[in-house]
Amino acid sequence: MEQKNPKAFTSSINPLEVFKEIEWKALELKRGDFLIKAGQTEKYLYYVVSGALRAYTYVDEEEHTIRFGYKNSIIAAIPSFFNEQPTDIYIEALRKSTLYRAKKIDFEKVMQESVKSLSYYNALLKDLIATFYEREIDILQKDPAKRLKRVLERSPQVFQEVPHKYIAAYLRMSAETLSRLLNS
């Protein structure tokens, strides 16, 4: 299994290739379409082939962008996917996007049938857990420039795929600050 950048948001495995037994359903989203809204329960994992999406939630009155999906990345309302409780997350397409989705029960089925599938699923989870940890460290950085540097090094692709105003929100800085830091 090739491990490109252990800190990257994009998955090091292509789930479409390693989970061939699973039926992946193609999905086209227009800008502004939602994959999931608060109150719904996540039944799928999505693999993004093209486009850009963002996951956000509200804390008190504030909207917070917490994650992006773009080419070769996995996106879903992860906690809800695992605990099967209604989510508090919204996932919105930022532009026209193509995704493949697979049902949770299909993953469970193939994992029971082959150890190889199980190890691939574990690799996928390892990637996900790593991104959550990186995100946690991001937020702890007091200096906005350091937060930006971490994400730039980890996922330069984000800056090509996602409108900067959402990256600024993700980095917890104003759009002006992000633009200034990128230009310096």
Nearer to other proteins, 59 or 105 (CB): 59
- How many angstroms separate the CA atoms of 159 and 5, rounded? 17
Instruction: Tell me the closest approach of the beta carbon of residue 57 to other proteins, in angstroms.
Output: 5
Nearer to other proteins, 53 or 89 (CB): 89
Nearer to other proteins, 71 or 135 (CB): 135
Chain residues in the site for other proteins (CB under 8 A) = 37-40, 57-61, 63, 86-90
Q: What pairs with residue 90 in β-bridges? A: 56
Phi and psi of 172, rounded to 5°?
Answer: 55, 50
Q: What pairs with residue 68 in β-bridges? A: 54
Phi and psi of 123, rounded to 5°?
Answer: -60, -40
Nearer to other proteins, 57 or 98 (CB): 57
Instruction: Tell me the closest approach of the beta carbon of residue 94 to other proteins, in angstroms.
Output: 13
| Side-chain-side CA neighbours of residue 118 (13 Å) | 6
Instruction: Tell me the closest approach of the beta carbon of residue 182 to other proteins, in angstroms.
Output: 19
Instruction: Tell me the closest approach of the beta carbon of residue 164 to other proteins, in angstroms.
Output: 14
Q: β-pairing, 74-75 with 44-50? A: antiparallel
Nearer to other proteins, 88 or 106 (CB): 88
What totals of helices (H) and strands (E) does the chain contain, helices first?
Answer: 8, 8
Instruction: Tell me the closest approach of the beta carbon of residue 8 to other proteins, in angstroms.
Output: 28
Quote the DSSP letter at residue 21: T
Which residues, including other chains, have CB under 8 Å from residue 118's CB and lie 6 or more apart? 111
Nearer to other proteins, 49 or 175 (CB): 175
**Which residue from 46, 11, 128 is spatially nearest to 54, judged by alpha carbons?**
46
Instruction: Tell me the closest approach of the beta carbon of residue 37 to other proteins, in angstroms.
Output: 7
